[in-house]
């Protein structure tokens, strides 16, 4: 080798040490940690761990761990900016990169510091840290709550629609109003004709109105006006015949009971045994296991259809007076409580002015009235009363008696 040739290779070797050469002629440059060829760790070639070529760990090519190409900043490198770099910016593997696959600012936001939910999408901010959303839709929530922006929250009010279906479609009322204990204010509740609770008649003949109510239990009725408006004709009150849940109003009739949630009316679990499965029976609008002999309380007995029913025994009612008819109406009547015209509950006139009837009445405390001539409701003169209704405490096993207790 002449002087000029030797000088050339010396200069070229120096350049490869600093990582600028493309390929070294020396056979041991392929594994040299500072070489510039394909095996050098500091060269620019494909295998240098610190070079810029494909395999350099600090280079710019595809396999370098700290370079800018596919292994540094590119695909496979541990410290590059694309797929394989430990601190890279591209999708698949950088531990501190900016892209979704493994970058520090990509991926899940769970656990990040936050001031509000906007920093945690699609999650929520809880105690200054991003957390997963509590719900996606309202069915994901419990306790009557509703799903709002990923959180299960208790609603303050909900729109509840009430519907009145005329008993006689051929002769519907002119106006219908909803009334009930909706506000808790005795001066505002149970008003017969409140404008905000006037019902609108639809093309199907039904009357509806929607009002805003907090979740809870309410009692209500419909107030009807036939052949005229509420300013011209008397009111006719009735409960909701389509709602099976009722409660005594203390005046010889019943109120309908509305259970409401954030979603409006809460439908009963069942209205008949056919609504239940697994051998359960419908009792008080809920599906329950059928009773067995001895499983009911002392004043109850297991009925033929698997429900605990009040033990029944006879009670004799009587009335003295010159009237055309006498009926008993009370909370113990079946199938319809407080029915003033039920033929099965009519007293017989034994002698002129002396009326008497003996009927099966369940054990327990009851309220009732006598109905004279079909529409005159009176307290039973032979029984105690609570100011509104006559009272009867039925104790089965004793002799049938006239008046309040048996």
| Mean of pLDDT values over 175-201 | 88
Burial of 298 (0-12, 13-18, 19+ CB in 10 A): exposed
pLDDT tens per residue, range 269-317: 776 788 889 989 887 677 889 988 778 776 677 877 787 776 778 889 9
User: Quick one: pLDDT at residue 321?
Assistant: 93
- 75 vs 91: CA distance, rounded Å: 9
* pLDDT single digits (tens) 24-83: 333 344 334 333 333 343 334 333 333 343 333 333 433 333 334 333 333 333 333 333
How confident is the model at residue 299, as a pLDDT?
A: 63
d(CA 406, CA 404): 7
Per-residue model confidence (pLDDT) at position 367: 94
Q: Tell me what pLDDT residue 372 has.
A: 94
% of the chain at pLDDT higher than 70: 67
User: How confident is the model at residue 143, as a pLDDT?
Assistant: 66
Distance, CA of 8 to CA of 19 (rounded, Å): 17
Q: Which residues contact 372 (CB under 8 A, 6 or more apart)?
A: 319, 321, 323, 324, 325, 326, 378
Report yes or no: 57 and 49 within 8 Å, Cβ to Cβ: yes
- Residue 239 CB partners (closer than 8 Å, separation 6+): 221, 222, 246, 253, 254, 255, 256
pLDDT digits (tens, 9 = 90+) for 307-344: 777 677 888 999 999 999 999 999 998 778 898 888 88
Secondary structure (3-state) at 274: helix
pLDDT confidence of residue 52: 41
At residue 122, does pLDDT exceed 90?
A: no
Domains of the chain in start order, with CATH, are 1-106 (no CATH), 108-154 (no CATH), 165-265 (2.60.40), 273-309 (no CATH), 311-394 (2.60.40.10)
Mean per-residue pLDDT over the chain, rounded: 72
DSSP, residue by residue, 107-138:
S--TT-B-SSGGGSTTSEEETTEEE--S-SSG
- Range in 2-6, 380-384, 393-397 with the lowest mean pLDDT: 2-6
Structure confidence at residue 397 (pLDDT): 53
pLDDT value, residue 400: 37
Q: What is the mean pLDDT of residues 100-109?
A: 46
Residue 12: the pLDDT is 44
Considering only the C-alpha atoms of the chain, give the largest distance between any 2 of them, rounded to a whole number of Å.
154
**Residues facing 356 on adjacent strands:** 318, 348
pLDDT higher than threshold 70 for residue 396? yes
Q: What is the pLDDT, as a whole number, of residue 148?
A: 82
The model's confidence at residue 4, banded by pLDDT at 50, 70 and 90, is low
């Amino acid at each position: 080798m002449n002087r000029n040739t030797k000088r050339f290779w010396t200069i070229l070797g120096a350049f490869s040490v600093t990582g600028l050469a493309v390929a070294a002629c020396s056979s041991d440059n392929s594994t040299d940690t500072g070489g510039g060829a394909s095996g050098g760790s500091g060269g620019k070639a494909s295998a240098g761990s610190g070079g810029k070529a494909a395999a350099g760990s600090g280079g710019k090519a595809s396999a370098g761990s700290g370079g800018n190409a596919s292994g540094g900043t590119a695909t496979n490198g541990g410290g590059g900016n694309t797929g394989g770099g430990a601190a890279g910016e591209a999708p698949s593997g950088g531990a501190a990169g900016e892209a979704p696959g493994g970058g520090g600012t990509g991926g899940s936001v769970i656990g990040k510091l936050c001031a509000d939910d906007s920093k945690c999408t699609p999650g929520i901010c809880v105690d200054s840290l991003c957390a997963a959303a509590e719900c996606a839709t309202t069915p994901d929530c419990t306790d009557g709550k509703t799903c709002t922006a990923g959180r299960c929250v208790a609603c303050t009010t909900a729109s509840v629609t009430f519907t009145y279906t005329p008993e006689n479609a051929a002769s519907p009322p002119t106006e219908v109003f909803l009334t009930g204990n909706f506000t808790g204010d005795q001066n505002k509740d149970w008003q017969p004709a409140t404008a905000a609770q006037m019902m609108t008649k639809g093309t199907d003949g039904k009357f509806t109105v929607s009002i805003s109510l907090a979740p809870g239990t309410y009692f209500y009725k419909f107030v009807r006006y036939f052949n005229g408006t509420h300013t011209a004709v008397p009111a006719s009150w009735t409960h909701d015949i389509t709602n099976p849940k009722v409660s005594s109003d203390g005046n010889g009739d019943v109120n309908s009971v509305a259970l409401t949630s954030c979603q409006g009316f809460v439908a009963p679990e069942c209205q008949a045994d056919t609504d239940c499965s697994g051998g359960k029976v419908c009792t008080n609008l809920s599906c329950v296991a059928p009773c067995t002999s001895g499983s009911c309380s002392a004043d109850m007995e297991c009925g033929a259809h698997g429900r605990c029913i009040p033990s029944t025994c006879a009670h004799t009612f009587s009335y003295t007076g010159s009237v055309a008819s006498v009926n008993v109406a009370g909370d113990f009547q079946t199938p319809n409580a407080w029915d003033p015209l039920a033929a099965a509950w009519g007293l017989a006139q034994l002698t002129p002015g002396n009326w008497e009837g003996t009927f099966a009445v369940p054990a327990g405390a009851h309220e009732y009235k006598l109905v004279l001539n079909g529409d005159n409701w009176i307290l039973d003169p032979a029984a105690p009363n609570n100011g509104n209704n006559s009272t009867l405490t039925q104790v089965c096993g004793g002799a049938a008696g006239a008046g309040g207790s048996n």
